[in-house]
Amino acid sequence: MILPALLFLAALGGEEMPATTAAGLEGRPPAAQASSLQARVDAVEPGGVVEVGPGAYAGDLVIDKPLHLTGHGRPRLAGSGVGSVVRIRAEGVVIEGFDIDGRGGGDLGRDSSGVHVASRRVTVRDCRITRSLFGIYLREADGSRVERCRIEGIPGRDPGEKGSGIHTRLKRRGLRGGRPAFQSRGRGRPHLLAAERREEQERGKNHPATTRVSAASPARASRHARYAAPATTRTAAMSA
């Protein structure tokens, strides 16, 4: 029977894994891992504003409607350490003014991030993200922007054990007509896809700390800004 089995697992103290959607996205976390802000986000009408004051807010937050989440006095969102801290699943979301702590946990196989975006026209602004595998992950997030964010990786991790400061995963159709550009400040040059390096060489241009994706890239392209020493990525602005 299912219920006794679940009770047995609970008695063992087994860690619940975040639910995932059919597309492999992290869904809503179990109640024990949910953010203390989740009820406020769920209660606001689409297009509304949620203003958050100073303090620490534990757990993982899901945003599945268009809204503006604003932090005042640098509130800290401390994730569960199991999955992405903020999971944005609706178009037109704006999040700004937060310190976001991934607590050194998560799963690379699920793209666990400080902020994981899987919708269009999302803005992440003035956030400081620490101890996350990926800082900000933009999955098919056409028209999204990352502005004035500082991202620090997990200290002591080898490159193969962590993601990147900012990672974008794009569909070919999302690249037509536009040339999304990523700009960052700080030491080190973000990783460029081989196709992008060839394009840069052919054009005879050299734009440090800038990556471009063109329609010549693979059908599902990705690009990322790796953590520069000491595992830090700063952004001026990024458009996807």
State residue 74's pLDDT score.
98
Structure tokens at 151: 């991202």
Task: Please report the DSSP string for 8-28 in residue order.
Answer: HHHHHTPPPPPPB-TTS-B-P
State residue 164's pLDDT score.
86
Single out the residue of 227, 230, 228 nearest to residue 114, CA to CA: 227
State residue 224's pLDDT score.
64
Encode the chain (240 residues) as per-residue pLDDT tens digits.
343 333 322 333 334 444 666 568 999 999 999 999 999 999 999 999 999 999 999 999 999 999 999 999 999 999 999 999 999 999 999 999 999 999 999 989 899 999 999 999 999 999 999 999 999 999 999 999 999 999 998 988 877 778 889 998 876 443 333 334 444 443 333 333 333 344 444 444 333 332 222 222 333 445 666 665 444 556 556 566
How crowded is residue 186: how many other Cβ atoms within 10 Å of its Cβ? 17
State residue 226's pLDDT score.
63
Model-level pTM? 0.71
Asked if residue 63 lies in contact with residue 42, where contact means CB atoms within 8 angstroms, the answer is no
State residue 147's pLDDT score.
94
Helix (H) or strand (E) holding 68: strand 68-71
State residue 109's pLDDT score.
87
Cα 211 from Cα 191, distance rounded (Å)? 8
Identify the three-state secondary structure at position 188. Answer: coil
